[in-house]
Structure 1
Amino acid sequence: METNYKISIPKPCTENWDKMTPNDTGRFCMSCSKTVVDFTAMMPEEIQHFFIQNQTERICGRFRKSQLDNITIQIPSRVLYAQTQYHKMFLLALFIAMGTTLFSCADKDGNKTKIDKVELVDNPEQNESVSVCYGHQIESKKVNSKKPLERTIMGALIAPDSFEKGSFEYDIIYNSNDLDILPVPEDGMKKLYTFLNKNYITPNDTEEKQKKIFILFVVEKDGTLSNFNIVKNTDQKSGAEAIRVLKTASKWIPGKLNNRIVRSSYILPILIQKIK
């Protein structure tokens, strides 16, 4: 028997899709340090498969308003049990309830729309008023076709009726500049830069004697680094190499806000000097 889950967003987000930074997997939102998935060209089966494959991830997504008028995500009951340990079953439930995506939207008057089922809309007419909703998810391929400009809406998740309210909490990623205590490398910033310059391998096609690289990442509560992204016009090869080295570096001391440890985004400038 298939299990249906209904999810909605009470407060649409105001982030601008067009101002997000394109990357290999979609568009990166600087405000929440996440990549947004474009579901506007996906079939219902593809959307469902995506949720199942990413059951433990927190995702952000983008939908057409016409898709979200009636959306139901069906998760086969067997997925909850087959080859899944008990604690992973809970993670799947939590994923559906919250991390799956902040999937609902509001119309132009601010009225909230609850998701009931997925509709596949083929070749919408040119005069159709098309809206796009996206909450926290990751972008996939886009269809190159001439369509009207789409208005985007994002928002925070309302848990589906099948889950107990108050049983989970969204783990916010704060901007490090807003913290009371900034995150820092365990061994100090000076030793981190020494480690980076020692282990960074300059691409062979680089002619510059020195260059500045900017890498954005999230410092988790346990001091590990995640959600790496290349920013500030850093070329892909240099950025990828810097990320490789950062992943092998020591942990960080996480930042604090109101005397509690929080997740935070951090942009690290790295000056690389080429040694002949």
Structure 2
Amino acid sequence: MTHTVFRDFFLISLLVVMMVSCSHSSTSEPAEVYLLNQLDVAPDFEGGYNQFIRYLSESIKNAPEGTFDQLEEKIFIDFVIDKEGKVRQISIKTPIPLRAARELKSILENSPVWTPGQLNGQPVASFQTLPIKF
């Protein structure tokens, strides 16, 4: 009988631990990401969009030789500028060689910090799509 009571106690304790774990994981939901047309103030790269394009162009030129040689098409990249202004969640939508994809992701991840977009006076994460023509 003691084994049954111990087993039942153990199973109930395990169930409680699992319920608590599940409830904690659901409260740490990812931050909401807004589209540009939902924002009061769009995110801004220091020096403006032209400076961002200049940063990308220079970084691509300085990439290891041959990284982007075979690319001749327009490439679309989705990413999020988080509420701290860092580029996150990079997704290259156009199929390209792995080496080029890794380099593009690295360039974007290492870009200078943006001024994040704002909604109701608060910084928020925002979704961006970037076309790059090689």
- TM-score (normalizing by structure 1): 0.36
Within the candidate set 201, 204, 213, 2:75 is matched to 213
1:263 CA displacement: 1.1
**2:65 counterpart of 1:225:** no
Within the candidate set 18, 30, 44, 1:184 is matched to 44
SS at 2:90's partner residue? strand
**2:132 counterpart of 1:203:** no
Q: Given residue 26 of structure 2, which amino acid in structure 1 is its aligned partner?
A: A
Shift of the 93–224 alpha-carbon distance from structure 1 to 2, 3 Å rule, reads farther
Which whole-Å CA distance do the structure 2 matches of 1:240 and 1:213 have between them? Answer: 14
Gaps of 5+ in 2: 1-12
Contact 1:215 1:243 in 2 (8 A): no
Shift of the 180–204 alpha-carbon distance from structure 1 to 2, 3 Å rule, reads closer
Q: Which has the higher contact order (CA 8 A, sep 6+)?
A: 2
1:204 CA displacement: 6.1
Contact 2:40 2:120 in 1 (8 A): yes
Which residue in 2 is equivalent to 1:235? 96
Which whole-Å CA distance do the structure 2 matches of 1:184 and 1:247 have between them? Answer: 16
Q: Which has the higher strand share?
A: 1
Shift of the 204–4 alpha-carbon distance from structure 1 to 2, 3 Å rule, reads closer
Which residue in 2 is equivalent to 1:264? 126
Q: Given residue 96 of structure 2, which amino acid in structure 1 is its aligned partner?
A: D
Identity among equivalent positions (%) equals 27
RMSD: 2.7
Shift of the 204–216 alpha-carbon distance from structure 1 to 2, 3 Å rule, reads closer
Which whole-Å CA distance do the structure 1 matches of 2:31 and 2:71 have between them? Answer: 43
Equivalences, count: 115
Q: Which has the higher helix share?
A: 2
Which residue in 1 is equivalent to 2:27? 98
Gaps of 5+ in 1: 7-74, 76-91, 101-169
1:222 CA displacement: 0.9
Which whole-Å CA distance do the structure 2 matches of 1:257 and 1:204 have between them? Answer: 37
Shift of the 5–229 alpha-carbon distance from structure 1 to 2, 3 Å rule, reads same
Which residue in 2 is equivalent to 1:4? 18
Q: Given residue 235 of structure 1, which amino acid in structure 2 is its aligned partner?
A: I
Deviations 1:2-22 (A, max 9, x none): 31217xxxxxxxxxxxxxxxx
For 1:101-180, list aligned pairs within 5 A.
171-180=31-40
- TM-score (normalizing by structure 2): 0.69
Contact 2:84 2:123 in 1 (8 A): no
Contact 1:217 1:226 in 2 (8 A): yes
Shift of the 205–225 alpha-carbon distance from structure 1 to 2, 3 Å rule, reads closer
For 1:39-58, list aligned pairs within 5 A.
none
1:255 CA displacement: 0.7
Shift of the 236–178 alpha-carbon distance from structure 1 to 2, 3 Å rule, reads farther
